[in-house]
Amino acid sequence: MQIMDWLQLIIFIAILTALVKPVGVYLYRVLDQKEKTGLEFAFSSLERITYKLCSIDPQKEQNWKEYLFALMMFSLAAFVFMFTILGIQQFLPLNPEKFGSITWDLNFNTTASFITNTNWQSYSGETTLSYFSQMFTLTVQNFVSASVGVAVAAALARGIARASGSGLGNFWVDLVRSTYYLFIPLSLVLAIFLISEGVPQNFNNYASIKTLEAQQIQTIVQGPIASQDAIKLLGSNGGGFTDANAAHPYENPTPLSNLVQILAILLIPAAQTYYYGKTVGHQKHGWYIYLIMLLLLVAGIIVTTFFEREGNLNFSGLGVDMSAGNLEGKEQRFGLFGSTLFATGATASSNGTSNSMFSSYTPYASLVLFQNMQVGEIIFGGVGSGLYGIILISFVGIFIAGLIIGRTPEYLGKKIEAYEIKMSVIPLLLFIILILGCTSWACMSDCGRCATGNRGPHELSEILFAFTSTTANNGSAFSSLSTNTPWYNITTGLVMLASRFLCIVATLALAGGLVKKKRLPESIGSFPVEGLTFVFLMIGIIVLTGGLGYLSSLIFGPILEQLYMYKGTLF
């Protein structure tokens, strides 16, 4: 890494860390409701009207089964609504380009993608969806799917903090308050900033211009881009208005907008660590969780940047200047580090936004992107899902440590027994089964291999990345894989639904079991949940579960490709 790379990284870490506490305190006020947020003047009336129209009793506590039932019914209704709108978009307003309906398999994939907070895109937004579809299905789901993740994390935090009860809060209240008090105001501020940087926000027809070269007609996309971009970033969504996503100059115009977008992606997942510490009454524990996430993120940024700076040594023999590193597939206005920082942050945070071509990264650099997602969506992860993901890993780590040293495993005063471990391990095993199982199926299937754009190890990497991304509800992709086929649309759609909702079921079941347990006082036998011992334990467990589970597939994919690259073998 160069000096300017280190300087940008330090500035990025300093700003992000400075925002953790104020945003975390605000999030606590939104979900705890014991203190005013300061925005009651704008949203309290709307909140009350929403409860009244939907016949919601905000004072009613729900046990984990009731909470889960409400969440699943809401998600099912969202699925039906979005699937219907996308299927009849040609009859709806705000369609200046006269786009027709999309195929049923692409509709299923897109709907599954957005209700699971994945935002995997097998379509090109500017040539497929109308303004109405972009606003009333995609953007709406960006808000509420993110709020669902926040709600699940809040329920788990309450399950740990409370004792000898059954109530985990009220899903409808968590959903409404997260949307109104958290995502809407933050998105409004970010959208105004993006507009000031040059991101369009209009309902104009696409512009047609003649280029200076050969007098050809070029179509320039227009539309309500800034409003969708704001929540795609803050909500760990990632679904861009255009196919090029944050590499498009209308979605990410300047280096300043690039830095702000990376911060927006990580802001709420980072702040949730402070919220969690405050909720469970152990603020230092929250800070150490943040430290673990930050260390893993920074390590990934450094490794990715190092191998991208190294570039492809084979090009040097062809007379190509590699002093600037591997610039293939990167926007020059962001530079190499602006691209690697964005790519690492996006894959670590369950946000499919990208400002560069992941398929063009050197194999070892792409290996970091793989691992960011394969460790279980916990290096910040998505809003909500990142927090409850690392809590589940904490249960597994403390349980293993307890077995090694002969202590009864406890986590914040709650005994860890067989039931808790079963619920905690389910997401880990689910990730491995879905990623490796579906990748193997695709590699042995003509339907899976016919969509690849390369041969050799990179062909495996394309397929592996697709199922890693959809399983982790990330949404990023190697664009060299053509996934808009019935086989990929159906399989990736089912994978997104399974990984999202089965993990939620396990998390809420864990919360339901914990809330019934008494909270014991800490003793000399309690395992520390702060300090370097806890940090090393957690990083070790994360590396082991993420590394060993996928080692064989990574050896035959990016690792083998890098070795071939050193040898000078091309495919």
Q: Tens place of pLDDT for every residue, the chain, 571 residues?
A: 788 889 999 999 999 999 999 999 999 999 998 889 999 999 999 999 999 999 999 999 999 999 999 999 999 999 999 999 999 999 999 998 899 889 999 999 999 999 999 999 888 888 899 999 999 999 999 999 999 999 999 999 999 999 878 889 999 999 999 999 999 999 999 999 999 999 999 998 888 887 776 666 788 889 999 999 999 999 988 888 888 889 999 999 999 999 999 999 999 999 999 999 999 989 999 999 999 999 999 999 999 999 999 887 777 666 666 677 888 888 888 989 999 999 999 999 888 899 999 988 999 999 999 999 988 778 898 898 999 999 999 999 888 888 877 777 888 888 888 899 999 999 989 999 999 999 999 999 888 888 888 888 989 999 999 999 999 999 888 878 888 999 999 999 999 999 999 999 999 999 999 999 888 887 666 778 888 988 998 998 888 877 788 888 999 999 999 998 888 877 7
pTM of the model: 0.93
Coil, helix or strand at residue 566: helix
CA dihedral angle for residue 273, residue 59, residue 68, residue 135, rounded to 10 degrees: -70
With a CB cutoff of 8 Å and minimum separation 6, the contacts of 82 are 110, 111, 114, 115, 137, 141
Which residue range forms the structural domain that includes residue 487?
382-567
Coil, helix or strand at residue 101: coil
What's the pLDDT score for residue 299?
94
For 207, the enclosing helix (H) or strand (E) is: strand 207-210
Are 481 and 451 in contact by the 8 Å Cβ rule? The answer is: yes
- Give alpha helix (H) positions in 33-166: 40-53, 64-87, 104-115, 125-128, 131-133, 140-161
Distance from C-alpha of 149 to C-alpha of 182, rounded to nearest angstrom: 13
Which residue's entry shows tokens 């349980």?
399
With a CB cutoff of 8 Å and minimum separation 6, the contacts of 323 are none
% of the chain at pLDDT higher than 90: 63
- Give alpha helix (H) positions in 349-456: 363-374, 385-405, 418-444, 446-449
Token pair for residue 106? 């692409």
Beta-sheet pairing, 410-411 with 414-415: antiparallel
Distance from C-alpha of 148 to C-alpha of 183, rounded to nearest angstrom: 12
Token pair for residue 8? 């940008």
Distance from C-alpha of 440 to C-alpha of 457, rounded to nearest angstrom: 14
Nearest to 246 by CA among 384, 135, 326, 345: 345
Are 476 and 361 in contact by the 8 Å Cβ rule? The answer is: no
Domains: count for the chain: 1
- Report if residue 114 sits inside a domain: no
What's the pLDDT score for residue 58?
92
- Report if residue 486 sits inside a domain: yes
Are 267 and 16 in contact by the 8 Å Cβ rule? The answer is: yes
- Report if residue 15 sits inside a domain: no
- Report if residue 106 sits inside a domain: no
Q: How many CB atoms lie within 10 A of CB 159?
A: 29
- Report if residue 422 sits inside a domain: yes
Q: Crossing angle of helices 225-234/255-279, nearest 10°?
A: 40
Beta-sheet pairing, 207-210 with 217-220: antiparallel
- Report if residue 407 sits inside a domain: yes
With a CB cutoff of 8 Å and minimum separation 6, the contacts of 208 are 217, 218, 219, 220
Token pair for residue 198? 């040059």
* Beta-bridge partners for 411: 414
Are 338 and 258 in contact by the 8 Å Cβ rule? The answer is: yes
Coil, helix or strand at residue 210: strand
- Report if residue 283 sits inside a domain: no
What's the pLDDT score for residue 319?
61
What's the pLDDT score for residue 525?
63
- Report if residue 22 sits inside a domain: no
Q: Give the rounded distance of the alpha carbon of 362 from its chain centre.
A: 23
Distance from C-alpha of 36 to C-alpha of 66, rounded to nearest angstrom: 27
Residues present in the chain in total: 571
For 269, the enclosing helix (H) or strand (E) is: helix 255-279
Tens-digit pLDDT profile for residues 248-297: 999 999 999 999 999 999 999 999 999 999 999 899 999 999 999 999 99
Query: What Rg value do the Cα atoms of the chain yield, rounded?
Result: 23
Integer CA distances (angstroms), 125 to 99, 102, 239, 258, 517, in order: 11, 12, 9, 21, 48
Distance from C-alpha of 22 to C-alpha of 554, rounded to nearest angstrom: 40
With a CB cutoff of 8 Å and minimum separation 6, the contacts of 446 are none
Distance from C-alpha of 537 to C-alpha of 540, rounded to nearest angstrom: 5
Distance from C-alpha of 177 to C-alpha of 185, rounded to nearest angstrom: 12
Burial of 369 (0-12, 13-18, 19+ CB in 10 A): buried
Nearest to 119 by CA among 206, 199, 228: 228
* Beta-bridge partners for 208: 219
